[in-house]
Structure 1
């Protein structure tokens, strides 16, 4: 008789719902209602579908999940062998539903819990799991600072598929981190350590904890900022969409412009014309206009798109075009990736495929290196 791999599947349906609207997170009922009122889409099920689509056709897989949008809809759509072990009272699920579902999965002894969400969801899972069961996160939230997530939804499915085929996959302890969303919306990053969980140790597929900057990079960042600010000041043709992060913030400082550290601003003719834009606002601004996007990669992870900048939607990125995307990062930041590629996780697999390949990275004053984006 085939030994069944018992997989727990949990989805936070509201994960990432505030991302495209520049809400800096999705925690809290008021944020959720504001996002829904403004037409935000739920994307967590789509991302879990991308992960689970890697697992169709396995006859040694049994899935245990929750009702409706917390897992059942996704599993049924893929034709997986699944069992609902927790039923929600309504589609308006909360963190308590996540914790209750995880509690049930721990009780029945699943081999792995695959969950879709962001750092808030990781905290909820960690509060129940601790080190009892290995877990793996499907990135679906606005904030992904924790080390328990795969680099993309598809990568999460690849890891589970390796386990199903009997490949030797070690497990390691990974940090669960989250930030204060209220402070985040004021441009302040206050990240806290909430615990650790066991994750499959496939470093090609599972991301590192986000790393902060180091003082010895400051001179290089100054050079990058000087170079880019000179170009922007002399350019009367292009709009410049300024992504989030400290490297881009330094460029804005050189331009003498206020900056949304954890948001997206737009500059034209050396002047700030829009601040903290959401996806719709950005698309309206860049449509039909020559535009360049200046963005950096997350230290330690290498993500360029899909982590805290969902305002840069697939529609916005397609309108701007790959050739007009300027990535700025120090060589030290690239070296920290230890050979791993830069990552694009836009939520649109066809766009990610178009983005993939060798791309120029601005690493100093008029200095570039070529690095893989995947």
Structure 2
């Protein structure tokens, strides 16, 4: 069993040995440990793994990280990217709060880097947009289907509209206007899915990086997504959030599934309003 101190010690030893590039696998906590050990003294490539992966220092996926290593070997310049400090107490209380912890040097190839997590927009227009999205989704719900509601304030607006409790960072299940599962994990989802022939997943992209699967929604495992099917995935989001994204992203850990999910999809952005957006892996 290793600790954060082990991570900092080993990274420090690598720095002292004069390594040109440090590659690490982990989440925001590991990124903070690496920052404590090396700061801006050596470049790194951060391979995403874990539940909390919101810092801009991370590559989109392990494959993207490999491309970043190649780019560094070929002489790519480096740039500073943010490392976030996620408030653990707030996270346990179903809130996402973060502050800037520091910066790490990474190969400057933006197309392989995820953006940092942006705070949810709470302006009046954003709130109204979420209400319109909720109204449209509810109007078209199949009372015989199981709806798996992913994390995020846009999805929570759907639960609020039908007056059921919704965990902001968890996955909850809805059927015929009733809550049938709260903060459920993969095992709970698969068990519940056996009771319904029709299944739907409703997700919203993470602001700043556009992930719909693979960041902040680990409960939607490849097995769960395959059971539901690409055609039964409903993506929702406000125009303000989507306008800041280059594309939607997936990194399920199953590259074959990621390729299946890739391509264009419609995103509900208001009442009877949709936008076409590309999903990339």
* CA–CA distance in structure 2, aligned partners of residues 329 and 318 of structure 1: 23
Structure 1: runs of 5 or more not aligned? 1-91
2:273 equivalent to 1:367 = yes
Q: Which residue of 1 aligns with 2:182?
A: 275
> In structure 2, what is the Cα distance between the partners aligned to 1:295 and 1:133?
37
- Cα distance change, pair 289–185 in 1 and its aligned pair in 2 (3 A): farther
SS of the residue 2:11 aligns to: helix
| Contact 1:248-1:296 at 8 Å conserved across structures | yes
Using structure 1 for the length normalisation, give the TM-score.
0.72
| CA radius of gyration, larger in | 1
Measure, in 2, the Cα distance between the counterparts of 1:180 and 1:202. 29
Provide, for residues 244-281 of structure 1, a one-character-per-residue CA deviation record: whole Å limited to 9, x for no partner.
Answer: 01101111111101011100000000000110000111
Structure 1 residue corresponding to 2:160, chosen from 253, 256, 267: 253
Q: Distance in 2 between matches of 1:189 and 1:112?
A: 31
Decide whether the 8 Å contact of 1:145 with 1:178 is kept in 2. no
Q: Equivalent residues in 2 for 1:135-146 (5 A)? A: 135-146=44-55
Between the aligned partners of 2:214 and 2:85, the Cα distance in structure 1 is 17
Q: Residue 128 of structure 1 corresponds to which residue in structure 2?
A: 37
Q: Could you tell me whether the CA contact under 8 Å between 1:178 and 1:191 is conserved in 2?
A: yes
CA shift, 1:364, in A, is 1.0
Unaligned runs of 5+ in 2: none
Q: 1:174·1:199 contact (CA, 8 Å) conserved in 2?
A: yes
TM-score by length of 2: 0.95
Give distance in 1, aligned partners of 2:29 and 2:251.
19
For residues 244 and 19 of structure 2, the distance between their equivalents in structure 1, rounded to whole angstroms, comes to 34
CA RMSD for the aligned pairs?
1.3
Q: CA deviation at 1:182?
A: 2.9
1:296-307 equivalences in 2 (<5 Å):
296-307=204-215
Q: Identify which of 127, 130, 141 aligns with 1:218.
A: 127
Q: Is the 8 A contact 2:76 2:108 kept in 1?
A: yes
